[in-house]
């Protein structure tokens, strides 16, 4: 990932040493939304129309996981030729929502378990004419000592 790297989608996550997803919180009922909600709250009991940005928890527990062993169709942009499979995790955050993400480079389904902990990182999704385009990913949290065992 180079210094000129830019997010593949604007405003969905922060970058830097402790990146986080950016959602919105309804100022009326407090419900958090990711991807961001704006305009109207989707809680049926709430008529809120104002939202503030909120960074979501960077860690959660794995709800489930899989991988993509065949190259997905466009608009997916492959990052390598020939295609390199990647893993995918759905991670439940303390805010009570589950967020999908690719799994960090170097990790596969063998490194994942339902209920295990994962942490958000930002990595390159693909490269275009502007340089690296980045995305959030889930990285398994490996406790000290476990890494050596693997």
Partner 1 sequence: MSAHDVAVAGVGMHPWGKWGKHFVTYGVHAARAALADSGIAWQDVDLIVGGETVRNGYGGYVAGATFAQALGWNGAKVATSYAACATGAQALDTARARILAGLSEVALVVGADTTPKGFLAPNAGERWDDPDWLRFRLLGMTNPAYFALYARRRMDLYGATQEDFARVKVKNARHGLENPNARYRKEVSVQDVLSSAVVSDPLHLLDICATSDGAAAVVLCSTEYAARHGLGGGVRINAISTVTPTFPNTVMDMPNLSTDATTAVAPGELTFKESIGAAAYEEAGIDPSDVSLAEVYDLSTALELDWMEDLQLCKRGEAEVLLRAGDTTLGGRIPVNPSGGLGCFGEAVPAQALAQVCEVTWQLRGRATGRQVEGARVGVTANQGLFGHGSSVVLSV
Q: Other CB atoms closer than 10 Å to residue 136's CB: what's the count? A: 27
- Which residue, 129 or 144, is less far from partner 1 as judged by CB? 129
Give the CA distances from residue 10 to residues 42, 79, 93, 134, in Å, rounded to whole numbers and listed in that order.
22, 19, 22, 10
Residue 23's nearest CA partner among 89, 77, 124, 94 is 94
Q: One symbol per residue from 37 to 76: x for binding partner 1 (CB under 8 A), - otherwise; what is it?
A: -----xxxxx----------------xxxxxxxx-xxxxx
**Contact with partner 1 (CB under 8 A) among 29, 55, 84, 128:** 29
- Smaller CB distance to partner 1: residue 119 or 125? 125
* Stretch 69-98: interaction string toward partner 1, x if CB under 8 A: xx-xxxxxx--------x-x-x----xxxx
- In whole angstroms, give the CA distance from residue 53 to residue 69: 35
Size, binding site for partner 1 by CB under 8 A: 47
Three-class SS of 29-50? CCCEECCCCCCCCCCCCCCCCC
Can you tell me which of 51, 60, 99, 104 binds partner 1, judged by CB under 8 A? 99
Q: Which two tokens stand for residue 113?
A: 């378990």
Separation of alpha carbons 102 and 67, rounded Å: 9
Sorted by sequence, the CB contacts under 8 Å of residue 149 that are 6+ apart come out as none
Residue 24 interacting with partner 1 (CB under 8 A):
no
- Give whichever of 9 and 18 is closer to partner 1, judged by the CB atom: 9
Binding site for partner 1 (CB under 8 A): 8-9, 25-26, 29-35, 42-46, 63-70, 72-77, 86, 88, 90, 95-102, 109, 113-115, 125, 135
């Amino acid at each position: 990932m180079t210094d000129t790297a830019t997010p593949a989608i604007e405003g969905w996550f922060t970058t830097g040493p402790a990146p986080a997803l950016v959602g919105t919180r309804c100022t009326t009922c407090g419900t958090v939304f990711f991807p961001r909600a704006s305009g109207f709250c989707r809680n049926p009991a709430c008529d809120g129309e104002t939202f503030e940005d909120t960074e979501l928890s960077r860690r959660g527990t794995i709800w489930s996981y899989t991988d993509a062993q065949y190259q997905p169709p466009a608009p997916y942009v492959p990052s390598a030729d020939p295609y390199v499979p990647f893993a995918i995790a759905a991670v439940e955050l303390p805010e009570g929502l589950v967020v999908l993400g690719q799994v960090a480079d170097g990790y596969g389904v063998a490194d994942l378990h339902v209920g295990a902990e994962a942490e958000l990182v930002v990595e390159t999704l693909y490269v275009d004419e502007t340089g690296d385009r980045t995305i959030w990913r889930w990285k398994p949290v490996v406790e000290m000592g476990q890494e050596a065992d693997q």
